[in-house]
Amino acid sequence: MRLGLMTAAFGRLSLEKVAAWSAANGYEMIEVACWPSAGGERRRYAGVSHIDVERLDPGRIRDVLDRHGLEISSLAYYPNNLHPDQSERRAVNAHLKKVIDAAAKLGVPTVGTFVGRDKAKNVPDNFREFRKVWPRLVGYAESRGVNVAIENCPMIFSWDEWPGGTNLASTPAAWDEMFSIVPSERFGLNLDPSHLVWLQIDYERAVRDYASRLLHVHAKDMEIDRDGLYLYGSASQGMGWQVPRLPGLGKVDWGRFIGQLYRVGYDGVVSVEHEDRAFERTQELVERGFLIARDCLRPYLH
């Protein structure tokens, strides 16, 4: 397995500078943020664009990678692909296709994204929307030889995302349904154990049960704020008590999680997704966070 990072936390740096820092500090792969370069969603890390897929220059990007001895594990674009506003849905679906096109031109195997969700609708009604959108999107990726890896985050971090969240594909039951609708081998998971801690789902079993669907792995940790849980209760679905942390600073047992990845034969990237608010106020703190994550994960990756 190889150690990687998701570039979105380096939103103020160019791809060149991100690549230089990553290579100099022991990272082997980068997962490159590809939100629209102008306009669109600007929400914390969402909105970062280290590769402009509208004006793609494959030669320049390959030159940057080659000079720093890096590879791209995935192109990253995580919007709401089932947005209830039809014009917004069309826009994000169209941009996702451009990211898929860019992956094909760059020889990048995978695009990471969200299924999406209408937070006001129940799960069966959202799957009716899923049937309208996702067979077509996966077919588009298949035709270009690109994998689509769905991250399993419920996307309930703010009250405007509550109560249903904006990503349907957060549980094994949802994964089973989406894979029954779209059985393509090019459609799988970008598995993040932190969200399973939050949802009280066994992340070791998830690795075993969905081994054949593991296309990419995120490394993020999760702290449960016991005072917040006392105040808000589990019915808040995490609002007020789930705290994203860097690997090693939360509840995930990384030795056991990565041990299960070895057990099932996963040999891809483990990509650090830095969303720890304690390490994001300055560039120095962001870098320190990635070093903490590196030192936690590196002993397990060979």
List the one residue out of 1, 2, 55, 65 whose CA is nearest residue 32: 65
Classified as helix, coil or strand, 190 is: strand
Average confidence (pLDDT) over 197-207:
97
Residues 229-243 have pLDDT tens digits of 999 999 999 999 999
| pLDDT the model gives residue 44 | 59
Confidence of residue 38 (pLDDT cuts 50, 70, 90): low
User: Is residue 40's pLDDT more than 60?
Assistant: no
Omega within 30 of 0 (cis) for the link into 163: yes
The 10s digit of each residue's pLDDT in 106-165 is 999 999 999 999 999 999 999 999 999 999 999 999 999 999 999 999 999 888 898 998
Helix axes 172-181, 123-143, angle to 10 degrees: 50
Q: Give the global pTM.
A: 0.95
The total domain count for the chain is: 1
- Print the domain residue range for 70: 2-300
Lowest mean pLDDT among 35-39, 92-96, 261-265: 35-39
* CATH number of the domain bearing residue 12: 3.20.20.150
Q: b/e map of 155-189 (b: 16 or more CB within 10 Å)?
A: bbbeeebeebbbbbbbbbebbebbbeebeeebbbb
